[in-house]
């Protein structure tokens, strides 16, 4: 009888473990579903607000700020290239001295 009782207790313990594991999985999947909903709501509202701001900027026709930003970026890129070329030339000159 003791063997049957211990076997029965083991089976009950395994069933309880699997039920609790399934409940944990259900809670985790429910959290992930809610998380994705919230993330998509945030992206959607941000997209709508961003598009409305862009439409307003383009419809006013004053795009000087955009032209200034592009010119500044272009200037930075050109300066980096010049600096890189100068450092490469100086490095070559130093190598030729020895």
Please say whether the beta carbons of 67 and 61 come within 8 A: no
pTM for the model stands at 0.37
pLDDT tens digit sequence for 13-52: 766 666 666 566 666 666 667 777 888 888 889 899 989 8
Q: Please indicate, yes or no, whether residues 26 and 48 belong to a single structural domain of this protein.
A: yes
Which range of residues forms the domain containing residue 57?
1-61
Q: What is the band of 8 on the pLDDT scale with cuts at 50, 70, 90?
A: low
**pLDDT higher than 90, residue 72:** yes
Q: Please indicate, yes or no, whether residues 41 and 11 belong to a single structural domain of this protein.
A: yes
Measured CA distances, 24 to 11, 12, 18, 61, 80 (Å): 20, 18, 10, 56, 55
Count of domains observed in the chain? 2
Q: Please indicate, yes or no, whether residues 10 and 36 belong to a single structural domain of this protein.
A: yes
pLDDT tens digit sequence for 80-93: 998 888 877 776 66
Q: Please indicate, yes or no, whether residues 75 and 93 belong to a single structural domain of this protein.
A: yes
Q: Please indicate, yes or no, whether residues 81 and 50 belong to a single structural domain of this protein.
A: no
């Amino acid at each position: 009888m003791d063997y049957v009782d211990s076997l029965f207790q083991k089976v009950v313990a395994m069933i309880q473990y699997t039920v609790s594991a399934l409940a944990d999985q259900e809670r985790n999947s429910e959290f992930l579903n809610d998380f994705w909903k919230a993330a998509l709501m945030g992206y959607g509202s941000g997209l709508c607000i961003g598009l409305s701001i862009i439409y307003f900027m383009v419809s006013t026709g004053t795009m000087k700020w955009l032209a200034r930003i592009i010119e500044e970026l272009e200037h930075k890129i050109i300066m980096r290239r010049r600096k890189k070329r100068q450092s490469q030339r100086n490095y070559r000159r130093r190598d030729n001295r020895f």
